[in-house]
Amino acid sequence: MLCPLCGCEFDETDHSCLSECPMAAIQGCNLICCPNCGYQMVDESKSGAAKLLRRLLHPPGDPGKKEPTP
């Protein structure tokens, strides 16, 4: 994943903000924090709608399945 603020590339699986935010304790939160600058983004891998859309836009066998980095 590429941080839109500082350009740092990181693995989103290791940088969930989940444990930090009180909202997460109440109802769950899909934000991830950039390990370099702290900018918050939505973790697309945890969004069912985004996964479905990605499958529709890049069906299996499509060489463009790998999400292009911005």
Partner 1 sequence: MTRFPIIPSLEGDVHVILVGNPNVGKSALFGALTGRYVEISNFPGTTVELSTGHTDGMPLVDTPGIQSLHARSDDERVTRDILLERGGSLVLQVADARNLRRSLLLTMQLAELDRPLLLDVNMVDEARERGIQVDVVHLEQLLGAQVVPTVAVTGEGIETLRSRFQTARPVRHRVRYDAAIEEAVARLAPLLEGRDGDERAIALMILAGDAELAARCGGAHRAEIEALVARTAERYPRPLHFVLTGQRLRAVDELVAAVVRHPETRQAHAGETLGRLALHPVWGVAVLIAVLALFYLFVGRLGAGVCVNWMEKVFFGRGVNPLATWLAGFIPVPLVRDLLVGEYGLITMALTYGIAIVLPIVLTFFIAFGLLEDSGYLPRLAVMMDRPFKALGLNGKAVLPMVLGLGCDTMATMTTRILETRKDRLMVTLLLALGVPCSAQLGVIMGMTAYLPPAAIVVWGAVVTGVMFAVGWAASRVIPGERSDFILELPPIRRPQLVNIVIKTVARLEWYLKEVLPLFALGTLLLFVLDRTGALHLLERWAAPLVEGGLGLPRATTASFIVGFLRRDYGAAGLFALARAGALSVPQVLVSLVVITLFVPCVANVLVIAREHGTKVAFWVVGFVFPFAFAVGVLLHFGLLVFGVHF
Residue of the chain from 38, 59, 62, 65 that contacts partner 1 (CB under 8 A): 38
**Residue selected from 9, 13, 62, 65 as contacting partner 1 according to rule CB under 8 A:** 9
60 lines the binding site for partner 1 (CB under 8 A): no
Count of residues engaged in binding partner 1, rule: CB under 8 A = 39
What is the distance of C-alpha 30 from the center of its chain? 8
User: What six digits make up the tokens of 53?
Assistant: 């859309």
Rounded distance, CA 9 to CA 60, Å?
26
35 counts as binding partner 1 under rule CB under 8 A: yes
Residues of 44-67 as b/e, b for ≥16 C-beta within 10 angstroms?
Answer: bebeeeeeeeeeeeeeeeeeeeee
* 15 belongs to the binding site for partner 1 (CB under 8 A): no
Does the protein bind partner 1 through residue 47 (CB under 8 A)?
A: yes
- Please tell me whether residue 59 binds partner 1 under the rule CB under 8 A: no
